[in-house]
Amino acid sequence: MKLLTVNFLTCAVKTCKTSSESYPLHFRDAQLEQNPQTFNPLFIRNILSRLDWSALTTTANELGLTAMLPDHNPADDMMVDSEGATEEEKNRAKDNVISEEVLKKLHTFLVDTAVIEGKLVCGNCGFEYPIKEGVGNFLLPPHLV
Ligand SMILES: [Zn+2]
C-alpha cells in the first residue's frame, strides 16, 4: 500500500465518520518496502493540492520517515496572489516554483514507499485494518456495518 493511499482513507465505521480522531488511520507494526515506480512529475504536482499535509506528517512521523517529507506543502508556496490570474498562469507558477528535486523526493515518499505488512488502526474506535502483501483489507466485519 502506497503511503499516498492512506491520505485518502478514513475509518469505515459509521460512527467514526464524524470523529476527528478517525483520520488519519495509524500504521502499526508496519513493514516498509521501497518499490520504485516511474517518476511522473505532473502527477505529483497535481496531487499536492489534494493532500492533507498534517495527516501526511503524522504518517511520516509514525513510520520514522519525517526526513523524507518537507515540513509544509510545497503547493502552498505557489499561491498566485493576484486575483485576476488565469488557470494557465497559476499552472505556470507551479511549474516555476516546485523544483524537480522536491517532486522526486515526494514521489519517493508517496509512491515508491509501500507498507507491505502491518495494520492501519482507527484512532477513534480502535478497529485494525490488516495489510497483507501490500494490500489493505477495508471490509468491516458484519457487526460493525
Ligand atoms: Zn473507527
- Between the CA of 36 and the centroid of ligand 1 the distance, in Å, is 31
- Between the CA of 40 and the centroid of ligand 1 the distance, in Å, is 33
- Between the CA of 111 and the centroid of ligand 1 the distance, in Å, is 25
**pLDDT above 90 coverage of the chain, percent:** 79
Is residue 113 over pLDDT 90? yes
- Between the CA of 110 and the centroid of ligand 1 the distance, in Å, is 24
Q: Tell me how far apart the alpha carbons of residues 130 and 84 are, in angstroms, rounded to a whole number.
A: 48
- Between the CA of 20 and the centroid of ligand 1 the distance, in Å, is 10
Q: How many domains does the chain have?
A: 1
- Mapped to the 3 state alphabet, what secondary structure does 17-41 carry? CCCHHHCCCEEEEEEEEECCCCCCH
For 68, what's the count of Cα atoms within 13 Å in the CB-facing half-sphere? 21
Range of the structural domain that residue 66 is part of: 3-144
- Between the CA of 3 and the centroid of ligand 1 the distance, in Å, is 19
Cell matching residue 79: 499561491
- Between the CA of 124 and the centroid of ligand 1 the distance, in Å, is 5
Phi and psi at residue 32, to the nearest 5°: -95, 155
Q: Average pLDDT, stretch 14-32?
A: 95
Task: Supply the pLDDT for residue 76.
Answer: 84
- Between the CA of 29 and the centroid of ligand 1 the distance, in Å, is 18
Q: What is the mean pLDDT of the chain?
A: 91
- Between the CA of 4 and the centroid of ligand 1 the distance, in Å, is 20
Q: Which residues surround ligand 1, an ion (CB under 5 A)?
A: 11, 13, 16, 22, 122, 124-125, 127
pLDDT tens readout for residues 68-99? 999 999 988 776 665 677 777 766 665 567 89
**CATH of residue 22:** 2.20.25.10
pTM metric for this prediction: 0.85
